[in-house]
Amino acid sequence: MEVIKEQFEYYSYPSMEFLSPADQELMQKAIDQLDHAYAPYSHFHVGAAVRLKDENIYVGSNQENASYPLCMCGERVALYNAAANQPSVAPTTLAITIHNQNMKIEKPVSPCGACRQVISEYENRHQQPIRILLKSDGPQVYEIRTIADLLPLGFNGTFL
């Protein structure tokens, strides 16, 4: 038996001001999206903004439904928005922020498993790592350099 260890690095910034102006702009657009979330059931708002290689930005927020399994995550709305508008341009950075109306969450919250799988699909589609920026109510921002770090041994189209 062999034990295989994979290392995972991510970067923590004390606040948005430590990000590049482009990343600050992207995170601000994600924050603005918190007001567009439709989350009457969970009261958990998610805002997202994706920057493409040509510098265009597409946004999204979570959209819930009385039939709970139909709820769509904010990250996916943003990525699908980008892919529907500019299918051949690679996403380079995805900013995600959350706000739970029932409690304050200080630490950055990272995307759910389904969203990790979808982000991975777009990385593979364009052969371009997608940087992920995460922020919650607190000032701290996490940066993850590729979704592969959040989805080790991921399933992808090469198996099909």
- The reply on whether position 28 binds ligand THU by CB under 6 A is no
- The reply on whether position 86 binds ligand THU by CB under 6 A is no
List, as one string, the DSSP characters of 99-137. EETTS---S--PPPHHHHHHHHHHHHHHT---EEEEE-S
Residue 130 CB-half CA count within 13 A? 31
Q: Segment contacting ligand THU (CB under 6 A): 10-18, 23-31, 69-77, 85-93?
A: 69-77
Which 8-state DSSP code applies to residue 60?
A: E
- We find the least distance from the C-beta atom of residue 42 to ligand THU, in angstroms, to be 4
Q: Which is nearer to ligand THU, 22 or 112 (CB)?
A: 112
Q: Which is nearer to ligand THU, 21 or 69 (CB)?
A: 69
User: What do you get for the CA distance between the two ends of the chain, in Å?
Assistant: 29
Q: Which of 19, 39, 78, 144 binds ligand THU (CB under 6 A)?
A: 39
